[in-house]
Amino acid sequence: MTVTTPAGFRAAGVAAGLKSSGAPDIAVVVNDGPDTGVAGVFTSNRVKAAPVAWSEQVLHGGVVRAVVLNSGGANACTGPAGFQDTHATAEHAAAALTAQHPDQPFGAGEVAICSTGLIGERLPMDKLLPGVSAAIGGLTVDGGDAAAEAIMTTDTRPKTTVISGAGWTVGGMAKGAGMLAPAMATMLCVLTTDAVADPQTLDAALRAATRVTFDRIDSDGCMSTNDTVLLLASGAAGVTPSAAELTAAVTAACHDLAQQLIADAEGATKQIAIEVVGAADEDDAVEVGRSVARNNLVKTALFGNDPNWGRILAAVGTTAAEFEPDAVDVAVNGIWVCRGGAAAEDRSKVDLTGRDVTIRIDLHAGVTEATVWTNDLSHAYVHENSAYST
């Protein structure tokens, strides 16, 4: 049930024909309150999709009562006309929701919009608006799974999560399998909670959570124009958790969804954790982890079951992190193949036959650590991304 597991939320997912496959492509999530608190983080890509520009504006208003999400088109690089399309979608949804509950009229400025799919093409509004109407007509308190399915693009499976607190719950859904290197944001993700929390607490919890989860997955080094994560709070549980409790639950939900994203990344045959330890500070640890995560030679080597630690060191050497090249240790799946920047244990001892790979890099420059998660670079990634839009 995911986003509808917490009390106070309804959702739906329908097929509107945006995808030529006929698969579901429009989702709506509604917060029935009593609270309407919201927090959000968005892509730091300077080329932002129209729905990102719109939703950033909506969040400034401080109230989000509904989120409309579509797959089958990113509505990015579509100019002023694309922004008008997003605006029209919000107006349309607000009118349909108002018709459903005339006693609680919705404004377009309370409707966040998320889109995902091919960049550079207008959305077919003649299909999208009827689809939004249909989804709103089908909203139920059991609609979370249908919504999660409707936001998939190259994902092979929906990603959902539920984290339970004491008398309250966090639910969530996410999509994303490529162009997957969020920075200060994530792919499309909607989190819900029935906890009572003020906007400052929601915002702090969400930023703390994304910083160590979505911001630390890097599938292909390519940052999207559409990354959005929203956290909606209904207050329907009537329970006010502490800020620490809320942050822990939101972080657990984000971690679960982020791991599902990496596990389903385009073409991936390996799920790789890069644990950087002994760093002078967190920025250094993340920079080193990301440089390894983005290195095509490391990623192709792991696809080939090759514990090629020399490529790992070459990647570490491109960073500005504090370390001495002749002090770096590297372990692959527990075998310390490199000590002091040179060969140590026999690389043939490394077992890479499984799907999970752990690379541990000790910089010997401090006591801070951070983990970045990525996947390998395979033939299937090349195939999928050389044939996606045409």
Residue whose tokens read 């994303």: 176
Residue whose tokens read 């679960």: 256
Residue range at the interface with a copy of itself (CB under 8 A); choices 26-34, 62-70, 229-237, 382-390: 382-390
User: Looking at residue 59, what DSSP letter applies?
Assistant: H
Residue range at the interface with a copy of itself (CB under 8 A); choices 85-93, 94-102, 358-366, 374-382: 374-382
Closest CA to 81 of 48, 112, 123: 123
Which member of 55, 78, 116, 153 binds a copy of itself (CB under 8 A)?
A: 78
Instruction: Give the Cα separation of 78 and 65 in Å (integer).
Output: 26
Does residue 340 bind a copy of itself (CB under 8 A)? yes
Binding mask 213-232 for a copy of itself (x = CB under 8 A): -------xxxxxx-------
Which member of 16, 76, 132, 185 binds a copy of itself (CB under 8 A)?
A: 76
Residues 9-28 that bind a copy of itself (CB under 8 A): none
Does residue 378 bind a copy of itself (CB under 8 A)? yes
Of residues 133 and 224, the one with the C-beta less far from a copy of itself: 224
Does residue 368 bind a copy of itself (CB under 8 A)? no
Instruction: Give the Cα separation of 181 and 185 in Å (integer).
Output: 9
Does residue 124 bind a copy of itself (CB under 8 A)? no
CA within 13 Å, CB half, 288: 33
Does residue 244 bind a copy of itself (CB under 8 A)? no
Does residue 315 bind a copy of itself (CB under 8 A)? yes
Binding mask 48-67 for a copy of itself (x = CB under 8 A): x-------------------
Across the strands, what pairs with 271? 356, 375
Which residues have CB under 8 Å from 250's CB, separation 6+?
A: 163, 170, 191, 193, 205, 206, 208, 209, 231
Closest CA to 3 of 37, 21, 30: 30
Does residue 185 bind a copy of itself (CB under 8 A)? no
The number of residues making up the chain comes to 390
Does residue 270 bind a copy of itself (CB under 8 A)? no
Does residue 309 bind a copy of itself (CB under 8 A)? yes
Instruction: Give the Cα separation of 173 and 147 in Å (integer).
Output: 8
Residues 279-308 that bind a copy of itself (CB under 8 A): 294-297, 300-301, 303-306, 308
Least Å distance, CB 81 to a copy of itself, is 8
Of residues 341 and 366, the one with the C-beta less far from a copy of itself: 341
| 162 and 171 Cβ atoms separated by less than 8 Å | yes
Instruction: Give the Cα separation of 289 and 268 in Å (integer).
Output: 18
Phi then psi dihedrals of residue 331, to 5 deg: -115, 140
Does residue 82 bind a copy of itself (CB under 8 A)? yes
For residue 217 the two structure tokens come to: 């997955």
Which residues have CB under 8 Å from 36's CB, separation 6+?
A: 63, 64, 65, 110, 232, 233
CA separation, residue 4 to residues 1, 12, 144, 279 (Å) = 5, 10, 5, 41
Does residue 318 bind a copy of itself (CB under 8 A)? yes
Does residue 327 bind a copy of itself (CB under 8 A)? no
Closest CA to 174 of 150, 155, 190: 190
Does residue 75 bind a copy of itself (CB under 8 A)? no
Active site residue 160: no
Catalytic residue among 36, 161, 186, 213: 186
Does residue 385 bind a copy of itself (CB under 8 A)? yes
Binding site residues, a copy of itself, CB under 8 A: 45-48, 74, 76-79, 81-82, 118-122, 178-179, 183, 220-225, 294-297, 300-301, 303-306, 308-311, 313-319, 325-326, 338, 340-343, 377-379, 381-383, 385-390
Query: So which residues are the catalytic ones?
Result: 186
